[in-house]
C-alpha cells in the first residue's frame, strides 16, 4: 500500500507537453473571457483560436528538432511518448484545427451565431487528440479518447436550430459510448492477463509469454475489444453505421473537423497500440485487420455510389479511405518482413495528407451549401458551380481528383505509399482490392464533378467565398498540389518515423 506522504510524483518535462498546454490555455481563455465579455468583433474568436494553434505548431516544430537531434523518449514516467510519429501527427491535428477554425468563423457569421464555445471545443478536442496520439499507456489513451469524443459529441450537436444536428449528436454520443465501453473492457482484460497498461511493457510481458506458453484466449478477446473500440472511432465496416448520419447532421465545418482531427487521432493511436504493444500477436490481429480493411473498402466505395447528399457521399468516401489506411496497417503486421516499417510510415503519410484534403473539401462544401439543411448539401447544390465560378469549381475538382488518387496530387502519394507497403510484404490481394475500390470510389467523385461542370445551375447567384475561408481552402490546396508534385518533401520528413519512443 502506498502511503500518501511518501508518494513522489513523476518528473514532468513541461516544455515537452507545451503544445498540449497551449491549446488547453487557449480553450480556457476563450471560454472564460468569452463568457465574461460582450461579443468580440472582427472574428476575434477564430483569430484567438488560430493564434493559439500557431503557437502550438511553433512549439511542436521546436520539439521536432529536439527529437531529431536527441532521439525519441518517454515523458511523465512513461505515460506519453515524444517521438516523430506523435509530433508529425500533432502538427497535422493543430493545422487542421487552425484551418477549420477559419472556415467555421465564416460559417458561424453567416448563421449569425459566432460564439466562443465552438472554438474552445475545437481546442479541447485537439488536446484529446494530442494525448491519444502520444499516449504510451492504455489508460492515458482512454483519457485522450474521451476528451476528444466528448468535445466531438457537443460539436456535432452544436447547431441548435437544426434537429438533424441534435440527432447527430445524440446518435454519435450513444454509439461512441458503446465504443468507449468496448475499448475499456478490452483494456481491462489485457491488464488482467499482463498486469500492465504501458504499451512498451505490454510488449515485454507478451514476449516472455512466448517462452512460457499459456492460453491466449482472454488476451485475444481483450485485443479484439480494443480493436472494436477503435473500429467505431475510425468507422470501419461493420462499425460504420453512425458515420453517414453524423457527418450529414453535424454542421459542415464540424464534419470536416471530425473527418480530419478525429481520424488522425484514432488512426495514429490504433497504429501505435498495435505496433508497439501487440507485435507479438500480429499474426492474429493482422488477419482481422485484413478482413476489416477489405470489407471497409468495398462497402465504403460501393455504398457511396447511391448517395445523393454530398456530405453522405463524403462520409462513405471517408470510410473507404479508412479501409485504404488499414491496408498500410496490415502491411505493418508482417513484422518478419524487412519492409514492415513502410506500412507504419504509409499509414501516417496517408492520414496526414488526407486530413489536409478533407479539410479543403469540406471547406468548399461549407461555402457552397448556403445553410445546413439537407437540401443545401444535396448534390443539386453543386449543379453548375464550375460554370458560375470556374475557380471554385477547379479547386473542388482538384480536391476530388486527389481523393480519387489521381497522380500529381497528394492523394496519389498517399495511395501509392500504402499500396507499395502492401506489395512489399506480399499482400497482393489486398492491394488489388484497394485499387479496384479506388476506381469504384472515383465514380462518386466523378458524379460530383459532372454536377459541377456539366449541369446547369438552377440559380445564377454566385456563392461568396469569405476571406478566412479563402485562406483555409488555399492552404489545403497548396498542400495537396505541392506534395503531389514533390512527394519528397513529406517522404524526407517521415523517413525516420519508425523510431518510436521506448524508454
Partner 1 sequence: MIAASTEVLSFPILSALVILPLVGAIVVSLLGKTRPEWMKLAAMTSSVATGAFSLWLLGEFKTGEAGFQFVSQHVWISQWGISWHLGVDGISLFLVVLTGILFPLVIVGIDPHHNETSYFAWMLLLQAGVMGSFLALDLFLFFVMFEIVLVPMYFLIGGWGYDQRVYAAMKFFLYTMTGSAFMLVGIIATVSLARRDLGIVTFDLIKIAEGANFSTNAARWLFVSFAIAFAVKVPLFPFHTWLPDAHTQAPTGGSVILAGVLLKMGTYGFLRFGIYLFPEAAMWARPTLFTLAVIGIIYGAIAATMQRDLKRLVAYSSVAHLGFIVLGTFALSSQAVTGAVMQMVNHGVSTGALFLLVGMIYERRHTREIAELRGIQHVAPIFAGVFTVVMLSSIGLPGLNGFVGEFLILIGSFGAARWWTVVATVGVVLAALYLLWAYQRVFHGEPDEANASFKEITAKEGMLMAVFVAIIVFTGIYPKPMLERIEPSVNSFIEHVEGKTK
Residues that bind partner 1 (CB under 8 A): 390, 401, 406-408, 412, 416, 419-420, 423-424, 428, 431-432, 435-436, 438-439, 442-443, 446, 450, 453-454, 487-488, 491-492, 495
Among 435, 318, 290, 458, residue whose Cα is nearest residue 379: 458
Minimum CB separation from partner 1 for residue 295, in Å? 19
> Can you state the angle between helices 310-332 and 282-305, rounded to 10 degrees?
160
Q: Is 109:88 a contact under the CB 8 Å cutoff?
A: no
CB contact set of 161 (below 8 Å; sequence gap of 6+)? 111
Task: Tell me which DSSP letter residue 212 carries.
Answer: S
Minimum CB separation from partner 1 for residue 491, in Å? 4
Could you check whether the bond before residue 317 is cis, i.e. omega within 30 degrees of 0?
no
* Residue 106 to residue 365: CA distance in whole angstroms: 13
Minimum CB separation from partner 1 for residue 139, in Å? 37
Minimum CB separation from partner 1 for residue 423, in Å? 4
Minimum CB separation from partner 1 for residue 282, in Å? 20
Q: Which is nearer to partner 1, 16 or 304 (CB)?
A: 304
Joined together, the cell numbers standing for residue 53 give 494553434
* DSSP string covering 220-264: HHHHHHHHHHHHHHHT-TTS-THHHHHHHHS-HHHHHHIIIIIHH
Q: Which is nearer to partner 1, 97 or 346 (CB)?
A: 346
Q: Please count the residues of the chain.
A: 503
Q: Which is nearer to partner 1, 35 or 488 (CB)?
A: 488
Task: Tell me which DSSP letter residue 381 carries.
Answer: G
Minimum CB separation from partner 1 for residue 195, in Å? 41
Minimum CB separation from partner 1 for residue 389, in Å? 12
- CB atoms under 10 Å from CB of 192, counted, come to 11
The strand pairing partners of 309, in sequence order, are 378
The distance of Cα 347 from the centroid of its chain, to the nearest Å, equals 11
Minimum CB separation from partner 1 for residue 362, in Å? 22
Q: Which is nearer to partner 1, 128 or 384 (CB)?
A: 384
Among 324, 332, 206, residue whose Cα is nearest residue 272: 332
φ, ψ of residue 433 in degrees (nearest 5): -55, -45
Joined together, the cell numbers standing for residue 334 give 508482417
Q: Which is nearer to partner 1, 181 or 486 (CB)?
A: 486
* DSSP string covering 337-371: STTHHHHHHHHHHHHHHHHHHHHHHHHHHHHHSSS
* Residue 133 to residue 26: CA distance in whole angstroms: 20
Among 186, 283, 174, residue whose Cα is nearest residue 229: 186
* DSSP string covering 148-187: HHHHHHHHHT--TT-HHHHHHHHHHHHHHHHHHHHHHHHH
Among 475, 448, 290, residue whose Cα is nearest residue 382: 448
Minimum CB separation from partner 1 for residue 408, in Å? 6
Q: Which is nearer to partner 1, 463 or 491 (CB)?
A: 491
Q: Which is nearer to partner 1, 310 or 419 (CB)?
A: 419
Q: Which is nearer to partner 1, 375 or 443 (CB)?
A: 443
Q: Which is nearer to partner 1, 221 or 455 (CB)?
A: 455
* Residue 201 to residue 207: CA distance in whole angstroms: 10
Give the torsion sign (CA, 234, 235, 239, 243): positive
Minimum CB separation from partner 1 for residue 63, in Å? 24
Minimum CB separation from partner 1 for residue 407, in Å? 4
Minimum CB separation from partner 1 for residue 434, in Å? 9
Amino acid at each position: 500500500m502506498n502511503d500518501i506522504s511518501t508518494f513522489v510524483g513523476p518528473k514532468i518535462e513541461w516544455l515537452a507537453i507545451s503544445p498540449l498546454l497551449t491549446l488547453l490555455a487557449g480553450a480556457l481563455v476563450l471560454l472564460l473571457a468569452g463568457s465574461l465579455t460582450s461579443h468580440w468583433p472582427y472574428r476575434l474568436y477564430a483569430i484567438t483560436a488560430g493564434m493559439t494553434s500557431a503557437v502550438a505548431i511553433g512549439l511542436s516544430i521546436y520539439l521536432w528538432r529536439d527529437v531529431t537531434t536527441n532521439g525519441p523518449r518517454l515523458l511523465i514516467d512513461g505515460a506519453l511518448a515524444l517521438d516523430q510519429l506523435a509530433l508529425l501527427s500533432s502538427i497535422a491535428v493543430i493545422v487542421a484545427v487552425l484551418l477549420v477554425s477559419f472556415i467555421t468563423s465564416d460559417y458561424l457569421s453567416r448563421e449569425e451565431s459566432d460564439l466562443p464555445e465552438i472554438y474552445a471545443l475545437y481546442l479541447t478536442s485537439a488536446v484529446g487528440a494530442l494525448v491519444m496520439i502520444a499516449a504510451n499507456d492504455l489508460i492515458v489513451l482512454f483519457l485522450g479518447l474521451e476528451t476528444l469524443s466528448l468535445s466531438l459529441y457537443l460539436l456535432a450537436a452544436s447547431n441548435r436550430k437544426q434537429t438533424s444536428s441534435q440527432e447527430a449528436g445524440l446518435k454519435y454520443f450513444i454509439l461512441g459510448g458503446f465504443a468507449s465501453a468496448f475499448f475499456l473492457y478490452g483494456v481491462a482484460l489485457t491488464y488482467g492477463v499482463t498486469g500492465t497498461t504501458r504499451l512498451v511493457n505490454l510488449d515485454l510481458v507478451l514476449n516472455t509469454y512466448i517462452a512460457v506458453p499459456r492460453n491466449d484466449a482472454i488476451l485475444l478477446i481483450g485485443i479484439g475489444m480494443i480493436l472494436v473500440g477503435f473500429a467505431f472511432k475510425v468507422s470501419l465496416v461493420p462499425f460504420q453505421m453512425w458515420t453517414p448520419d453524423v457527418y450529414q447532421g453535424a454542421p459542415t465545418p464540424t464534419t470536416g473537423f471530425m473527418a480530419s482531427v478525429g481520424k488522425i487521432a484514432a488512426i495514429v493511436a490504433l497504429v501505435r497500440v498495435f505496433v508497439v504493444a501487440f507485435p507479438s500477436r500480429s499474426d492474429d490481429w493482422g488477419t482481422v485487420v485484413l478482413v476489416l480493411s477489405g470489407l471497409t473498402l468495398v462497402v465504403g466505395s460501393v455504398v457511396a455510389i447511391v448517395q445523393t447528399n454530398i456530405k453522405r457521399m463524403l462520409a462513405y468516401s471517408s470510410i473507404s479511405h479508412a479501409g485504404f489506411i488499414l491496408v498500410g496497417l496490415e502491411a505493418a503486421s508482417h513484422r518478419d518482413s524487412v519492409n514492415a516499417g513502410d506500412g507504419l510510415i504509409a499509414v501516417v503519410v496517408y492520414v496526414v495528407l488526407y486530413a489536409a484534403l478533407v479539410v479543403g473539401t469540406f471547406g468548399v462544401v461549407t461555402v457552397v451549401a448556403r445553410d445546413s439543411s439537407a437540401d443545401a448539401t444535396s448534390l443539386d447544390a453543386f449543379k453548375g458551380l464550375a460554370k458560375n465560378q470556374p475557380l471554385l469549381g477547379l479547386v473542388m475538382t482538384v480536391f476530388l481528383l486527389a481523393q480519387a488518387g489521381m497522380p500529381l496530387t497528394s492523394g496519389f502519394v498517399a495511395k501509392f505509399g500504402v499500396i507499395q507497403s502492401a506489395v512489399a510484404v506480399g499482400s497482393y490481394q489486398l492491394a488489388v482490392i484497394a485499387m479496384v475500390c479506388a476506381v469504384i470510389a472515383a465514380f462518386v467523385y466523378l458524379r460530383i464533378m459532372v454536377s459541377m461542370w456539366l449541369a446547369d445551375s438552377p440559380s445564377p447567384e454566385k456563392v461568396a467565398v469569405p476571406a478566412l475561408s479563402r485562406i483555409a481552402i488555399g492552404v489545403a490546396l497548396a498542400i495537396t498540389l505541392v506534395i503531389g508534385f514533390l512527394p519528397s518533401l513529406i517522404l524526407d520528413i517521415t523517413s525516420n518515423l519508425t523510431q518510436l519512443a521506448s524508454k
